[in-house]
Amino acid sequence: MKNTNTRPMANEATAIRAAELFDEHQRDICQRTDHMFAVLMTLQWIGGIIAASWISPRAWVGTTSQVHVHVWAAVFLGGAISSLPILLAITRPGQVSTRYVIAVGQMLMGALLIHLTGGRIETHFHVFGSLAFLSFYRDWRVLIPATLIVAADHFFRGIFWPQSVYGVLTASEWRWIEHAGWVLFEDTFLLIAIKRSVSEMLDIAQRTAESENLTDHLEVHVTQRTAQLAAANRELETEVAERKLAEEALRASEGRYRLLFESNPFPMWVYDVETLAFLAVNEAAVSRYGYSPKEFLSMTIKDIRPPQDVPALIDKLSQTSLSRNDSGEWRHSRKDGTSIDVEITSYPLSFAGRRARLVLANDITERKQAEAALHRSEEQLRQAQKMEAVGKLAGGVAHDFNNLLTAITGHSEMCLRGLAAEDPLYRRVEQIKKAGDRAAALTRQLLAFSRKQILQPEVIDLNQIVVELNRMLQRLIGEDIDLLMGLGPDLGKVKADPNQLGQVLMNLAVNARDAMPKGGKLTIETSNVNFSEAFASNHISVPAGQYVMLAVSDTGCGMDADTQARIFEPFFTTKDVGKGTGLGLSTVYGIVQQSGGSIWVYSEIGRGTTFKIYLPCVPGSVAENCSDAVKPELLKGSETVLLVEDEEMVRDMATEILREGGYHVLEAKHGPEAMALSQRYKGQIHLMLSDVVMPQMSGRELAERLTPLRSNMKVLYMSGYTDDAIVHHGVLEEGTAFIGKPFSPDALTRKVREVLDAPVVV
């Protein structure tokens, strides 16, 4: 019969793969068996030592005892037998030589154990167990050296030491054959088991190789079949796609009306050109206009126009050719009464045998609103740019005037000091001084408009400012105008120059008075307001936040739009010649802008005007004002003053004023000259009085260079124009001493004395 445990190989590759699998399995078994014997032989060695110590721990020599030789044999001889097999099992598992050495060592260890137990029959079973464990290698060859070791051990020890192997003092010389027979009997069964196990391993390896080969063939077949199916699928997809294209072309021709009309996101309708009745409407028109389809079909296109636009519609339709496309912008009315701006495009067509037009309506309401908002923003920006340009020009002119006016007013005042009141020249010089004072007031207004004046802001309560000016405003506007006040409670604080805000109120009051020649009402109101992000986005000059509002309203003649557009321009006035300079409202505009606020005007002809000023809220409390009068005799002094001024007229006048006051004056016309003069002068310089804006070196830079060299020297700046050297956005830096041009002799001597007497800030 054919051996069922061996199957013919499909091919050479399968046979090679089966051999590889068998070798891998055999190698794995041998490695694991080597590791098992490493553990087993270690335990045997330890067990032998324990057995020897228990059975014959000590030997007697005369009256003394000592460790029995069996114990030493178990320790040293057992270690010698076990060490090499254990070492090879750990370092070279799976090698042929390793398992042969293990087989020899295992049998020698069995012989030692038989000897240590005195040839007990129980220990002979260790031999049979060892042979069984050796069969785990699935290699019958390892049984040969094991069997030879057992036979040789029983032969030699049976002759020379029968008691160590058989447990008797004498034994037959052939008794070893009996024991060898039992070993061979076991070997026979072990060989049969090994053969069957190896045969099963070969069979498993063969089946595994055949399975892998079959899997490879199946994968190739599946790949080929998949490619065939993919090709067939592509052909099918192409066929289906062609069929779908044909179906879609058919549906497109049938559904073009639904796509372009019913599903259009823009309102569309068809109307009869003769009756103007609606013939069809889409869902977008129903949704946008609010009428149901049934309501639409009972209406005409005139019904969705405001009544005032219907004549224009009829006129437009009469001029439109029935064969031409047409477009335009109209206002339409929705069912809820609201109006929308739409852009209409219409096309001629035939509908159900009627002459009709197809209309597409695009709602442009939001676009129109956005365009209007953009136009307002552009107008605001252009106005702000125009005011900025005019302000720069006015500020530059005012700066040059201030130097001239300083000399004019200063010298005229000194002349008046030296003239008697009855002197004929006294009145003439007095007129010169008055003209200079009026010119100085004009330059201050120009500087205010151009935001070039220097402010000294503080935290203030607007309500308090209004209340303090109440009596003055009453006298200013006259008895035929009622002054009403509506001051808001818990009003926020603002940071501004109180004197300048008072000027704002008085200018607005004068403007309101002139607008009410026959009397009326002037109302001053304050309140807290909050500008949202939405409001700020429509007003480019106002950021969102908390503000305090100051409103000044009158019931006067009002202004038209053209006047409102130019109201803040300098020298623009609607008053008669000689009755106004045109700087009142421009001064208000400049002060408000420089204080970080905004001003808005609303006016209607015959109803009045309202100015609203918005100033940012600030934290803090209102400071208390306290001023001490300075006696004239205390204004003089004897200190040394370094005067630095590039304008010769101003420098000469200031020198004369200071020397009359008893001061020792050192003159310099610019920074480098002042540096050289300070280096030459060995005495103490108590004060440096310097212009801010000078050629070559600014006053601030000069002070920064001289102050380290003269630590006790104080600094007083003078200027008729703001400059970033000592101010920031027109606001004086804290701790900076300053006097503005033009100044009077008394003002200069008072300020010099004030700075010299002030305590030194460390």
User: For residue 442, what pLDDT is reported?
Assistant: 59
What was the pLDDT predicted at 23? 83
Nearest of 664, 674, 676 to residue 694 by alpha carbon = 674
Using a 10 angstrom Cβ sphere, with 0-12 exposed, 13-18 middle and 19 or more buried, the burial of residue 671 is buried
The two three-digit tokens of residue 512, written as one number: 């309101």
What residue type is assigned to position 584 of the chain? G
Its sign, for the CA torsion 593, 599, 605, 607, is negative
pLDDT at 450: 47
DSSP 8-state code for residue 105: H
> Burial of 432 by CB count in 10 Å (0-12 exposed, 13-18 middle, 19+ buried)?
middle
> Which of 219-233, 410-424, 679-693 is predicted with the least confidence, judged by mean pLDDT?
410-424
pLDDT at 455 over 70: no
- 666 pLDDT exceeds 60? yes
pTM greater than the 0.85 cutoff: no
- The whole-number pLDDT of residue 684 equals 93
Amino acid 431: pLDDT: 77
Higher pLDDT, 429 or 631: 429
As a whole number, mean pLDDT of residues 356-385 equals 77
Model confidence band, residue 706 (pLDDT cutoffs 50, 70, 90): very high
Cα–Cα distance, 541 to 128 (Å, whole number): 109
What's the pLDDT at 748?
87
Question: Residue 463: is its pLDDT beyond 90?
Answer: no
Q: In this predicted model, which residue has the larger pLDDT, 622 or 362?
A: 362
How confident is the model over 188-195, as a mean pLDDT? 82
The arithmetic mean of pLDDT across residues 7-11, rounded, is 51
Amino acid residing at 685: I
Please give the Cα distance from 431 to 437 (Å, whole number). Answer: 10
Name which residue leads in pLDDT, 209 or 256.
209
More reliable by pLDDT, 214 or 180:
214
Interval 477-529: pLDDT, tens: 888 888 898 888 888 888 887 877 887 888 888 888 888 888 899 999 999 98
pLDDT tens, 119-130?
Answer: 665 666 777 778
pLDDT at residue number 724: 44
* pLDDT score of 3: 42
Would you say residue 540 has pLDDT above 60? no
Residue 594's contacts (CB-CB under 8 Å, 6 or more residues apart) are: 448, 451, 453, 455, 729, 730
> Is the confidence at residue 83, as pLDDT, over 80?
yes
HSE of 717, CA atoms in CB hemisphere, 13 A: 26
What is the reported pLDDT for 383? 58
Predicted pLDDT at 488: 87
| pLDDT band (50, 70, 90) for residue 392 | low
Write down the pLDDT at residue 538. 57
**Neighbour tally for 414: CB within 10 Å:** 16
Bridge partners (DSSP) listed for residue 495 = 459
148, pLDDT greater than 50:
yes
Pairing of strands 714-719, 738-740: parallel
Q: What is the pLDDT of residue 643?
A: 94
Lowest mean pLDDT among 20-29, 706-715, 732-741: 732-741
- Tokens representing residue 173 in the block: 């010389």
- Among the ranges given (430-444, 505-519, 570-584), the one the predictor scored with the smallest mean pLDDT: 570-584
Mean pLDDT, rounded, for 586-615: 85
Q: Supply the pLDDT for residue 525.
A: 92
Q: What is the mean pLDDT of residues 315-340?
A: 82
Of 377-381, 405-409, 562-566, 652-656, the range with the highest mean pLDDT is 652-656
Please tell me the predicted confidence (pLDDT) of residue 62. Answer: 59
Q: Compute the average pLDDT of residues 657-668.
A: 91
CA 518, CA 22: separation in Å to the nearest integer? 126
Compute the average pLDDT of residues 670-678: 92
Alpha-carbon distances, residue 128 vs 107, 154, 162, 180, 328 (angstroms): 10, 14, 20, 11, 115
What average pLDDT does this structure show over 219-244?
87
HEC per residue, 236-303: HHHHHHHHHHHHHHHHHHHHHHHHHHHCCCCCEEEEECCCCEEEEECHHHHHHHCCCHHHHHCCEHHH
Residue 352 has pLDDT above 70, yes or no: yes
Specify which of 80-89, 416-425, 556-565 reaches the highest per-range mean pLDDT: 80-89
DSSP string of 691-703?
A: ESS-SSS-HHHHH
What average pLDDT score do residues 229-241 get? 87
Would you state the structure tokens that stand for residue 126, as one six-digit string?
């260790």
Q: What ranges in 419-519 are assigned the alpha helix state H? A: 424-449, 462-468, 470-477, 498-515
Beta bridge partners of 600: 612
Average pLDDT over residues 197-204: 84
pLDDT of residue 578: 47
For the stretch 138-147, pLDDT in tens is 888 888 888 8
Average model confidence (pLDDT) for the chain? 78
Smallest CA-to-CA distance from 281 within 264, 291, 293, 298 is with: 293
Pick the residue with more confidence: 189 or 443? 189
Q: How far apart are CA 28 and CA 455, in angstroms?
A: 99
Give the model's confidence band at 176: pLDDT under 50 very low, under 70 low, under 90 confident, else very high. Answer: low
Q: 164 versus 742: which is more confidently predicted?
A: 742
**Which tokens belong to 495?**
């940071």
Indicate if the pLDDT at residue 723 is higher than 60.
no
Q: What is the pLDDT confidence band of residue 541, given thresholds at 50, 70 and 90?
A: low
Model confidence at 451, in pLDDT bands (50, 70, 90)? Answer: very low
Rounded to whole angstroms, the Cα distance separating 290 from 312 reads 24
Residue of 617, 594, 593 whose CA lies nearest to 460: 617
pLDDT at 443: 62
In this structure, of 275-284, 428-437, 588-597, 700-709, the range with the lowest mean pLDDT score is 428-437
Residues 6+ apart with CB under 8 A from 161: 115
Average pLDDT over residues 386-403: 59
- Predicted confidence at residue 713, as pLDDT, reads 92
Tokens coding 716: 């007083």
| Cα–Cα nearest to 18, from 208, 194, 196 | 208
Give the pLDDT confidence score for residue 642 in this predicted structure.
94
- For the segment 31-58, the average pLDDT, to the nearest whole number, is 82
Per cent of the chain over pLDDT 90 is 10
Cβ neighbours of residue 459 under 8 Å, at least 6 residues apart?
493, 494, 495, 618, 620, 621, 622, 623
Question: What integer is the mean pLDDT of 269-289?
Answer: 89
CA distance 693 to 670: 10
Per-residue pLDDT band at 620 (split at 50, 70, 90) = confident
Across 282-296, 625-639, 714-728, 742-756, least confident range: 625-639
pLDDT score of 579 more than 60: no
Q: How confident is the model at residue 688 (pLDDT cuts 50, 70, 90)?
A: very high
Rounded mean pLDDT, 359-374: 83
457 in Cβ contact with 496 (< 8 Å)? yes
Instruction: Find the mean pLDDT for residues 564-586.
Output: 65
